Structure 1
Amino acid sequence: MDLKELNNRYEEIIHSNRPEEIKTNQLSMLMTYMEGAFSIPMQRNEEWERKNKKIIALYRKISRSRQFE
């Protein structure tokens, strides 16, 4: 999936009528997919982030949208 497809999937999840815990699980799976597909480092890496601004922006947007109790 490219970033546009990932963002479309994100929007579909966010605007769905699913329970919040299902949405959070799906968003977490989307983040896991991105980690593998784009080799997102486990620890913050400013150089990597500088080179991959659009990727990390979407990744953080997804992360902030999850709801934990």
Structure 2
Amino acid sequence: MANRLSDIHRKYEDIIRSDMPPYEKDKALARLMTDMEREFHVPALKNEQWEAENKPIIALYRVISESRTTL
């Protein structure tokens, strides 16, 4: 899991540092979030137990989410 989170974080950094337009960054970040949802079974609704058991995952997921400029 740690290696996969590192890969996702690296992709996140690449997207943020890229020169793509904001709407393209948002789309790339949304795809990254979708990848995390599938791979780590991130629940659609807030689940405190899942979050407590998966702190590194939800922390990165929230960073990505908060980096999006449009929803």
User: TM-score, normalization: structure 1?
Assistant: 0.96
Decide which structure has greater helix share: 2
Asked whether 1:34 is paired with 2:32, we answer no
Describe how 1:8-19 pairs up with structure 2 within 5 A.
8-19=10-21
Cα distance in 2, alignment partners of residues 64 and 28 from structure 1: 11
Give 1:1-69 correspondences, 5 Å limit.
2-68=4-70
Unaligned runs of 5+ in 1: none
TM-score of the aligned structures, taking structure 2 as reference length: 0.94
Percent pairwise identity? 46
Runs of 4+ in 1 over 3 A off after TM superposition: none
1:16 maps to amino acid: S
Q: How many pairs does the alignment contain?
A: 69
SS in 2 for 1:2: helix
Aligned-residue Cα RMSD (Å) equals 1.2
